[in-house]
Amino acid sequence: MLTIALPKGRIAEETLDKFEKAFGEKFVFEDRKLILKKSGFCFLNVRNQDVPTYVKYGAADLGVVGLDVLEEKEYDIIKLLDLRLGRCKVAIGLRAGEELDWTKSEIKVATKHEVIARKYFEKKAMAVDIIKLYGSIELAPLVGLSDCIVDIVETGLTMKQNGLEVGPTIMESSAFLISNKNSYYAKKEQILDLREKIEEVL
Ligand code: PRP
């Protein structure tokens, strides 16, 4: 049995669709159920940011999660396969027409991605005050909470409709199949076989 943590929502559905194509079985979470057991798989329906936690502690052997979430956690986890789902980038957002003032002694950055943002500005030797938010990040510069944001950009519409402009890209992201290290060594054959079957249907 392989236990696989999936991030609630579209990515979970798209991943289950790949499993259906790879194994010829229908995989659907029933109503409010958080566990789906079928054909040697146990799928867990968890919050996006919680996927690496289930995998790190071995509660799940495998998981599916955006590279941005994985980078943010800095856990020692194996990346098995780029599923090429949920493609997006992490980028800086600025008030339209403005540029980052690199001469400022400290820039206020609002973000859900604290680690990624901190590393980016550290490399540029910029002093930043990272303000952690949990959503609606685009609002922060509009009401003076921050000078800029670091956030996910998919179509760019959210920034545009809120008077922001997409600035420099920090990283590209997509959903990856990931593995717990111990599980990988203990169930290597099973896991590599799964990886191959999924890769074939991508
Ligand atoms: C993400 C992100 C942006 C939006 C970007 O939010 O934080 O707000 O999507 O997409 P776009 O470039 O296509 O407009 P999400 O929907 O994940 O919700 P959240 O802010 O609650 O995390």
pLDDT value at residue 101: 86
Query: CA 170, 175, 180, 184 torsion: positive or negative?
Result: negative
pLDDT value at residue 1: 95
**Strands 35-38 vs 41-46: parallel, antiparallel or unpaired:** antiparallel
pLDDT averaged per 10 residues, the chain (length 202) = 96 97 96 96 97 98 98 96 97 95 91 98 94 97 97 97 97 98 98 98 96
- Going by alpha carbons, the residue nearest to atom 3 of ligand 1 is 152
Ligand 1 pocket, CB under 6 A: 135-138, 151-158
**Cα(137) to centroid(ligand 1), Å:** 8
- Going by alpha carbons, the residue nearest to atom 9 of ligand 1 is 152
**Cα(44) to centroid(ligand 1), Å:** 23
- Going by alpha carbons, the residue nearest to atom 19 of ligand 1 is 135
**Cα(53) to centroid(ligand 1), Å:** 22
pLDDT value at residue 9: 93
Compute the residue count for the chain. Answer: 202
pLDDT value at residue 100: 87
- Going by alpha carbons, the residue nearest to atom 21 of ligand 1 is 135
In whole angstroms, give the CA distance from residue 83 to residue 96. Answer: 34
The residue among 58, 91, 54 whose CA lies nearest residue 70 is: 54
Q: Residue 152 CA: which ligand 1 atom is closest?
A: 2
In whole angstroms, give the CA distance from residue 181 to residue 61. Answer: 8
pLDDT value at residue 103: 84
pLDDT value at residue 98: 94
> Would you say 131 and 149 are in contact if contact means Cβ atoms under 8 Å apart?
no
**Cα(97) to centroid(ligand 1), Å:** 22
**Cα(152) to centroid(ligand 1), Å:** 6
In whole angstroms, give the CA distance from residue 6 to residue 15. Answer: 8
